[in-house]
């Protein structure tokens, strides 16, 4: 193996110092992309990067429209301890397999460097012509853990068990509640008992999330989205009540659960907020409003609570839990209703109104903290085109696409090849109506569509058009416009 001389060492050191110094002179903007699982984070970030890297159709992004956005290229990411967002893999899946990529399971990031010509002469004179865009994708479930930092194990358990007994959750929680009732909290810790209770609690949270139930408020966040803590002992606790006046004995099951809960807060929750969340400049919160609408009013209320909890993380006011840790610096937040391509464009305003209604409480809080908030309906990858259908003598505004193999509507099962037109139904004109107690479930008809064909007949990949989208450019203008001015 060749030996490096002292001089080589110095040279290498100087080179990397040179690179990092010139790199450090380029301003950076750190944007978080979050949302609960299946909200559309992976597809969104893949599509956004694809549009910027391949000069997609982005007319609402002023710098692009006026030709001032010169180049976008990938650069080495700033953090060595964070996974790289698997852009190439996801794009391959979308474009070549016409299948959706693997969803977000942990935090990842990617750096894009934009070269542009600023509008202002001063910025040109100062040579402000490049911007590092650090995009950080992370599960929204992790944000739901913030209130835990301020909650004792007793308070967490009371809240979690009251939720588990609520009518819309009780059937899923039954196995856990039964196992808990069978255990003596004061008995000496048995690892088997602890693991079984934690496993059943996790199963219950998963069951609430899955299928038609689509519930959202399901902390602790790592139980659903463990990231690199999959199978870790940090996750072997579950809520439990202590009903005696005396303190639980050392080494009891209850005491072990309490200690593990405190450790979860200390070694998992707090470091995430300090190391990652605190460094974000702007934030995108993706929301799968359509699935919650179809799950009915309980799911919508739950989603609204989750969004309020997420927004409380951005609140920079004094004397809040967060401000005791650090001061969040986020100055713009975009709430985005994803998968708008499931609806005809005439319904998109209503989708935005519903999202607005869902975040109204949250919205007020963020405004209070001085951050600008935007709500938008977007499709990161548009899998449908608009079509018309007839029902008797009535014309219906439908969407047409290729349903994924095995999807069904009205007893018809699709083969993954044939295009069909579907009338998804109309959203209500009065968004509040959906949040009333008795709003029914399954009012909309949806299937999952395959990603679109990108082939325009030309052989060369670079000549093919970028993937179609809806309003990604408006979102980019909100998030980046001022930085490229």
Angle formed by the axes of helices 360-368 and 297-312, nearest 10°: 10
CB of 94 vs ligand GDP, minimal distance in Å: 10
How big is the site for ligand GDP, counted in residues (CB under 6 A)? 21
Neighbours of 47 (CB within 10 A): 26
Alpha helical stretches, state H, 145-252? 153-164, 170-182, 191-209, 221-224
Report if residue 118 touches ligand GDP, rule: CB under 6 A: no
Site map for ligand GDP, 363-392, x if CB under 6 A?
Answer: ----------------xxx-x---------
Q: Work out whether 402 is an interface residue with ligand GDP (CB under 6 A).
A: no
For ligand GDP, which residue of 85, 100, 254, 273 counts as binding (CB under 6 A)?
Answer: 100
Integer Cα distance of 198 and 235 in angstroms: 7
Closer of 210 and 482 to ligand GDP (Cβ): 210
Given the rule CB under 6 A, which of 41-49, 71-79, 311-319, 365-373 is the region that contacts ligand GDP? Answer: 41-49
Check: CB of residue 455 under 8 Å from CB of residue 444.
no
Instruction: Let me know if 129 is exposed, middle or buried by CB neighbors in 10 A (0-12, 13-18, 19+).
Output: middle
Partners of residue 134 on adjacent β-strands: 30, 111
Listed ranges 115-123, 335-343, 367-375, 453-461: which one lies at the site for ligand GDP (CB under 6 A) = 335-343
Which is nearer to ligand GDP, 224 or 311 (by Cβ)? 224
The SS3 assignment for 485 reads coil
Please state, in angstroms and rounded to a whole number, the distance separating the CA atoms of residues 81 and 465: 35
Going from the C-alpha of 332 to that of each of 33, 285, 372, the distances in angstroms are: 12, 11, 5
Residue with Cβ nearer ligand GDP (132 or 339): 339
Cα dist from 50 to 58, 131, 381, 462, 468, whole Å: 12, 17, 10, 12, 11
| Sequence-ordered list of residues with C-beta below 8 angstroms from that of 413, at least 6 positions apart, any chain | 406, 407
Stretch that binds ligand GDP, among 38-46, 168-176, 348-356, 407-415 (CB under 6 A): 38-46
- Toward ligand GDP, which CB reaches closer, 39 or 484? 39
Q: Does 475 bind ligand GDP (CB under 6 A)?
A: no
- In angstroms, the CA 280 to CA 110 distance is 14
Please name the residue that has the structure tokens 């920079």. Answer: 316
- Compare residues 45 and 316 and give the one whose CB is closer to ligand GDP: 45
The DSSP 8-state label assigned to residue 267 in this structure reads: I
Nearest-approach distance from CB 140 to ligand GDP, in angstroms: 8
Stretch touching ligand GDP by CB under 6 A, among 32-40, 158-166, 196-204, 318-326: 32-40
Give the nearest distance from C-beta 424 to ligand GDP in angstroms.
Answer: 11
For residues 338 and 286, the answer to whether their CB atoms sit within 8 Å is yes
Is residue 40 close enough to count as binding ligand GDP by CB under 6 A?
yes
236, 338, 369, 375: which one binds ligand GDP (CB under 6 A): 338
Name beta bridge partners: 286. 35, 336
- Structure tokens belonging to residue 185: 């909290």
CB of 3 to ligand GDP, least distance (A): 47
Q: Is 39 in the site for ligand GDP (CB under 6 A)?
A: yes
Nearer to ligand GDP, 131 or 289 (CB): 289
Q: Determine if 35 is a binding residue for ligand GDP (CB under 6 A).
A: yes
Select from 204, 261, 273 the least CA-distant residue to 235: 261
Q: Is 449 in the site for ligand GDP (CB under 6 A)?
A: yes
Smallest distance, ligand GDP to C-beta of residue 379, A:
4
Q: Which is nearer to ligand GDP, 107 or 197 (CB)?
A: 107
Tell me the closest approach of the beta carbon of residue 75 to ligand GDP, in angstroms. 23
Q: Is 50 in the site for ligand GDP (CB under 6 A)?
A: no
Q: What is the contact surface with ligand GDP in residues (CB under 6 A)?
A: 35, 37-43, 100, 103-104, 338-339, 341-342, 379-381, 383, 448-449
């Amino acid at each position: 193996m060749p030996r490096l001389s002292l001089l080589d060492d110095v040279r290498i050191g100087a080179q990397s110092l040179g690179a990092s110094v010139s790199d450090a002179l380029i301003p950076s903007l750190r944007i978080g992309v979050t949302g609960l699982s299946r909200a559309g984070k992976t597809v969104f970030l893949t599509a956004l990067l694809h549009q910027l890297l391949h000069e997609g159709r982005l007319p609402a992004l002023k710098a692009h429209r006026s030709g001032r956005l010169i180049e976008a290229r990938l650069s080495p990411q700033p953090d060595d301890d964070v996974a790289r967002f698997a852009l190439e893999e996801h794009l391959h899946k979308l474009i070549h397999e016409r299948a959706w990529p693997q969803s977000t399971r942990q935090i990842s990031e990617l750096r894009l460097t934009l070269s542009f010509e600023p509008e202002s002469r001063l910025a040109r004179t100062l040579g402000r012509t490049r911007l590092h865009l650090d995009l950080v994708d992370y599960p929204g479930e992790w944000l739901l853990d913030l209130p835990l930092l301020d909650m004792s194990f007793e308070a967490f358990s009371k809240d979690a068990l009251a939720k588990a007994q609520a009518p819309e959750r009780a059937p899923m929680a039954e196995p856990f509640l039964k196992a808990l009732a069978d255990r003596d909290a004061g008995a000496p810790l048995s690892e088997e008992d602890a693991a079984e209770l934690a496993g059943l609690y996790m199963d219950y949270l998963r069951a609430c999330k899955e299928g038609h139930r689509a519930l959202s408020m399901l902390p602790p966040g790592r139980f659903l989205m463990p990231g690199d803590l999959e199978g870790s002992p940090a996750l072997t606790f579950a809520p439990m009540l202590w009903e005696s006046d005396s303190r639980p004995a050392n080494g009891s099951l209850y005491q072990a659960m309490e200690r593990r809960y405190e450790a979860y807060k200390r070694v998992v929750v707090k470091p995430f907020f300090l190391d990652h969340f605190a460094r974000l400049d702007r934030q995108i919160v993706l929301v799968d409003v359509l699935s919650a609408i179809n799950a009915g009013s309980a799911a919508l209320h739950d989603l609204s609570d989750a969004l309020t909890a997420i927004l409380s993380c951005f609140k920079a006011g004094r004397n809040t839990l967060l401000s005791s840790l650090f001061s969040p610096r986020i100055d713009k937040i975009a709430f985005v209703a994803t998968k708008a391509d499931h609806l005809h464009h005439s319904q998109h305003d209503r989708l935005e109104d519903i999202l607005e209604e869902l975040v109204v409480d949250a919205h007020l809080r963020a405004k209070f903290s001085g951050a600008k908030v935007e709500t938008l309906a977007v499709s990161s990858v548009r899998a449908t085109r608009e079509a018309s259908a007839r029902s008797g003598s009535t014309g219906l505004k439908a969407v047409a696409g290729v349903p994924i193999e095995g999807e069904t509507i009205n007893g018809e099962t699709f083969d993954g090849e044939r295009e069909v037109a579907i009338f998804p139904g109309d959203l209500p004109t009065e968004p509040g109506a959906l949040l009333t107690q008795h709003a029914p479930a399954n009012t909309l008809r949806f299937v999952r569509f395959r990603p679109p064909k990108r082939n325009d007949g030309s052989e060369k990949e670079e000549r093919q058009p970028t993937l179609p989208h809806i309003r990604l450019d408006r979102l980019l203008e909100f998030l980046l416009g001022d930085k490229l001015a």
